[in-house]
Structure 1
Amino acid sequence: MSLRFAALGLLAQHPGSGYDLLKRFEVSMANVWPATQSQLYAELNKLADDGLIEVTAVGARGRKEYRITDAGRAALLGWITRPRDNTPIRRPDVLRVFLLGEMTPADASAYAGGVAAAADEVLAHYRDIRDNAPWDDSTADFYARAALEFGLRSAAMEAEWARWLQAEIATRELDQG
């Protein structure tokens, strides 16, 4: 369901073609909500069928330009203001941690180390975006930076937590050994 609102949000910020949206997705939302070309184009068709976006121009090779409609903007704003409507988050990574007791402590510690390393990579990627994106003073960039800050803090917390887990596994082994 969120792909629908991600597409509506991008079209609310600036009308464009499916290709334009895909490129904007890749540089802005791919870290938060990745989408393939086929998923995005299918969603654009559904949004148009539902009257939430409309085609404003058809160019060469059938390239369609879309813009959000008033009904689409109302749906987007309604969704934004109802955060409690979110579906439950499924976290396979946390489920794996819950089940680490099925592994040897060494393997569990190695898993935690892998989580820390992956989080460090994500953190470096987000820092690169923060430091090199052509930010401006627009409202869209302000909130994009706010979303990026969430990612920065989440990745830093995940790396710190994974290192804590490794230390706790080591302490447990010493206490039981």
Structure 2
Amino acid sequence: MSLKYAVLAALLEGEASGYELSKVFDVSLANFWPATPQQLYRELERLAQDGLIAARVVRQERRPDKRMFTLTEAGRADLDAFAAAPPRRPTAIRDELLIKIQAADGVAPEVSRALIEERLGWSRGKLARYERVRERLLAGRTEDEYLREADRIGPYLTLSAGIAFEEENARWCERALLLLERRAAVG
């Protein structure tokens, strides 16, 4: 899959500038489809050229003009076709930390602990952000109320996946730290 469909899906929320889309990616999509702002801007240009999104310029005083992007009917049809097709291959983990841990027997144990503690901090930070997003989505409603009343369920489902992913990352980090501690005690 290319960045194309992640951008089109982000525009389901409505018109957005490139800057706003980069913030959407940081908060809700980066856990499963990261992109740099430069990648986003290049993709926005391609999608506009292909007629899948429309761009309009908004004049601003005291700031440069900004471009706002919206999904076109052609973009929505392309996204719907993509959403209906089965994934081409199962999810695969590509994680630099796991390669480092796989090879860590030749380094001091405190190096591995520090790397895992850093990951644990990242996971806890992301969980805190995701919980804030969840609270904003629910807006004081219970989950059942949200499911009955919300126009779209996709953002909530993907947010739930992000929460589960980071909870599992945190559990793995805590277990790995415990196992390193036990190994050190055995000595």
Question: How high is the sequence identity, in percent, across the aligned residues?
Answer: 32
Q: 2:168 matched to 1:157?
A: yes
Q: Which residue of 2 aligns with 1:101?
A: 105
CA shift at 1:46, angstroms? 0.5
- Map 1:39-78 to 2 at 5 A: 39-55=39-55, 57-60=56-59, 63-78=66-81
- Separation in structure 2 between the aligned mates of residue 92 and residue 49 of structure 1, nearest angstrom: 35
* Counterpart selection for 2:128 from 118, 124, 129: 124
Q: Distance in 2 between matches of 1:110 and 1:27?
A: 26
Per the TM alignment, residue 31 of structure 1 is displaced from its structure 2 partner at its CA by 4.9
Residue of structure 2 aligned with 1:82, choices 76, 86, 96 = 86
**Distance change >3 Å, CA 20–CA 121, structure 1 → 2:** closer
- Which digits, 9 at most, give the CA deviation of each residue in 1:89-132, with x for residues without a partner? 42112212212212122332333233223322222222222234
Letter of the aligned partner of 2:52 in structure 1?
L
Q: Where in structure 1 are there 5+ consecutive unaligned residues? A: none
Distance 1:5 1:29 in 2: 11
Query: Which amino acid is 1:96 matched to?
Result: K
Aligned to 1:166: 177
Q: Distance in 2 between matches of 1:9 and 1:62?
A: 25
- Give structure 1 regions of 4+ aligned residues with deviation exceeding 6 angstroms: none
SS in 2 for 1:67: strand
Seen in structure 2, the aligned counterparts of structure 1 residues 118 and 65 have a Cα distance that, compared at 3 Å, is closer
Match of 1:138 in 2: 150
SS in 2 for 1:83: coil
CA RMSD of aligned residues (A): 3.1
Please state which structure has a larger fraction of its residues in helix: 1
Larger mean CA deviation between 123-132 and 78-87 belongs to 78-87
Give the AA of the match of 2:80: L
Gaps of 5+ in 2: 140-145
Task: Give TM-score scaled by structure 1 length.
Answer: 0.75
Paired residues, what number?
Answer: 174
3-12 vs 21-30, which deviates more?
21-30
- 1:164 offset after TM fit, Å? 1.0
Q: TM-score, normalised by structure 2?
A: 0.71
